[in-house]
Amino acid sequence: MSIFLVGLVLFIGVHSIYIVAPSLRSAAIGRIGYNPWRGVYSLVSLVGLVLTIYGYGLARQDPMVLFEPPIWARHFAFLLMAVALPLLVASFFPVPTRIGRFVRHPMLMSVTLWSVAHALAIGTLAGVLLSAIFFVWTLTARFSLIARPMTPPSSAAPEPVKDWIAVAIGLAIWGALVFALHDWLIGMPLL
C-alpha cells in the first residue's frame, strides 16, 4: 500500500501545484524556463502514475474489503463511464467543443464521474481511496478555477462535428474497455 500512496502523492501533488502554490510554479518557470518545467512536471507525473498503478496492483493482491458493492452500482458505473469518456475526449480538442463550452472543464468532469463510478463499484480500501482522492482533487481544482480570473473563451465558434467525433471516440473507447481492454489493462473483466 505504501508504493500506491507514494504514487498518489506524487501524481496528485504535482497536479496540485497550480492550485495550492501558483507562485511556486511561476518561480520555477522563471528559474528554469517553461519547457524544462514541463519536462520535470511530466516526469514526476509519469513516475507518480506508474507507482500508483503498480502499487494499486499490489494492493489488489491482498485487498481489504470495505463493502460489497450492490448490483446496481456496477450498472450505474457503466453509465457514468459512458458519459465520462466522451467528456475526456472532448477535452483534447484545441478549439472548445459545444460539450466543452457547456461543461466548462470536461476533463475535470470526466475524472469526477470516473471517481464516483469506481467508488461505487469497487469496495476495497485501495479502490475507494483512489476514487476518493481523485474526487476531492477534482472538486478542489474546480473551485480553484472558479476563484481564478477567467481567461476569455475562444472566439472561434464550436464545430458540431467535433462534438460528434468526441462522443463517437469516447463511446468506442467505452465499448473497448467494457468488452476487452479493462480486463487486459487492469486485470478485471467487466462482463
Q: Are residues 46 and 80 in the same domain?
A: no
pLDDT of 151: 64
- Maximal CA-CA distance, the chain: 53
- Grid coordinates given for 109: 468532469
Whether the per-residue pLDDT at 160 is higher than 80: the answer is: yes
Q: Are residues 56 and 71 in the same domain?
A: no
What are the pLDDT digits (tens) for 44-62?
Answer: 999 999 999 999 999 999 9
pLDDT class for 90, splitting at 50, 70, 90? very high
110 within 8 A of 91, measured Cβ to Cβ: yes
Number of domains comprising the chain: 2
Q: Three-state SS string across 41-80, please?
A: HHHHHHHHHHHHHHHHHHHHHCCCECCCCCHHHHHHHHHH
Other residues' Cβ atoms within 10 Å of the Cβ of residue 150: 8
Contacting residues for 118 by C-beta, under 8 A, at least 6 apart: 77, 127, 130, 131
Q: Are residues 103 and 144 in the same domain?
A: yes
Q: Are residues 49 and 79 in the same domain?
A: no
H or E element at residue 118: helix 106-121
Q: Are residues 100 and 165 in the same domain?
A: yes
- The residue among 62, 88, 112 that closes a domain is 62
Whether the per-residue pLDDT at 108 is higher than 70: the answer is: yes
What does DSSP assign to residue 62? S
Q: Are residues 149 and 116 in the same domain?
A: yes
Whether the per-residue pLDDT at 12 is higher than 90: the answer is: yes
Q: Which range among 20-24, 73-77, 159-163 has the greatest average pLDDT?
A: 73-77
Q: Are residues 54 and 123 in the same domain?
A: no
Whether the per-residue pLDDT at 85 is higher than 80: the answer is: yes
pLDDT class for 79, splitting at 50, 70, 90? very high
Q: Are residues 9 and 46 in the same domain?
A: yes
pLDDT of 152: 62
Burial of 28-47, coded b for 16+ CB within 10 Å and e otherwise, reads: beeeeeeeebeeebeebbee
Q: Are residues 79 and 38 in the same domain?
A: no
Domain range holding 150? Answer: 63-191
Q: Are residues 99 and 183 in the same domain?
A: yes
The whole-number average pLDDT for the span 119-140 is 93
H or E element at residue 26: helix 22-32
Q: Three-state SS string across 74-112, please?
A: HHHHHHHHHHHHHHHHHCCCCCCCHHHHHHCCHHHHHHH
Q: Are residues 126 and 43 in the same domain?
A: no
- The residue among 62, 78, 110 that closes a domain is 62
- The residue among 41, 62, 83 that closes a domain is 62
Q: Are residues 16 and 67 in the same domain?
A: no
